[in-house]
Amino acid sequence: MLLIAATTAIALPLLALQGLRDALTTRDGDALAQLVDADRLRQSVAARIRARYEQGSDQRVPVEPVVERLLTPSGLIAAICDGGALTVDGRVPSSCDIHSKLGDLRFESASRFSAALTRNDVVAATVVMDRSGLHWRLVDLVLPATAYDQFKDSVLN
């Protein structure tokens, strides 16, 4: 019985991470939306963006439009797969080659893990997923600074 519980405790997060990678790779916004806790992700990403732009010369950047652009399925896919690059008409480019290794997975508690997703051997994003019942949901996203800047530029231009 203990072996089944331990196996389940490890397998379910791995399956959730695989589902997230599959949704990104196939650019399936509906599947991605099922894996996101929108309210918690919005709070954490908004705080991260606010902290980034409230320091220095970018204090006048309107945070909410950047968050709104990022927190759409196409925005999340663009941010993780393409470093924030949306096409002029708001569509995401067509390919996504995202990887994660078991060594990139870190359990922070029994109900939270983080994983680095890589693109071309560079960390494209670190995702944080929390358990909600038997399901795991994306609750935080750490992107490279250039991705935030591309979203800011797409909102301001």
Q: Could you tell me which of 8, 82, 72 has the C-alpha nearest to residue 42?
A: 72
Question: pLDDT tens digits, residue range 94-138?
Answer: 667 766 665 578 889 989 999 988 877 778 889 999 998 888 999
Query: What is the signed CA dihedral for 54, 33, 79, 113, rounded to 10 degrees?
Result: 80
103 to each of 76, 77, 98, 115, 117, how far by Cα in Å?
Answer: 23, 23, 15, 9, 11
Question: pLDDT tens digits, residue range 44-65?
Answer: 988 888 887 776 665 677 778 8
Residue 101 phi, psi dihedral angles, 5° rounding: -110, 155
Over residues 80-98, mean pLDDT: 60
Over residues 149-153, mean pLDDT: 71
* Structure tokens, 142: 């750490």
Computed on alpha carbons and rounded to an integer, the radius of gyration of the chain in Å comes to 16
- Domains, the chain: 2-156 (3.10.450)
* Structure tokens, 149: 């800047």
Provide, rounded to the nearest whole percent, the portion of the chain with pLDDT above 70. Answer: 72
* Structure tokens, 100: 């994660």
Strands (E), 8-121: 105-109, 112-119
Q: Could you tell me which of 48, 64, 60 has the C-alpha nearest to residue 147?
A: 48
Over residues 74-103, mean pLDDT: 65
| Predicted pLDDT at 87 | 45
Q: For the full predicted model, state whether its pTM sits above 0.85.
A: no
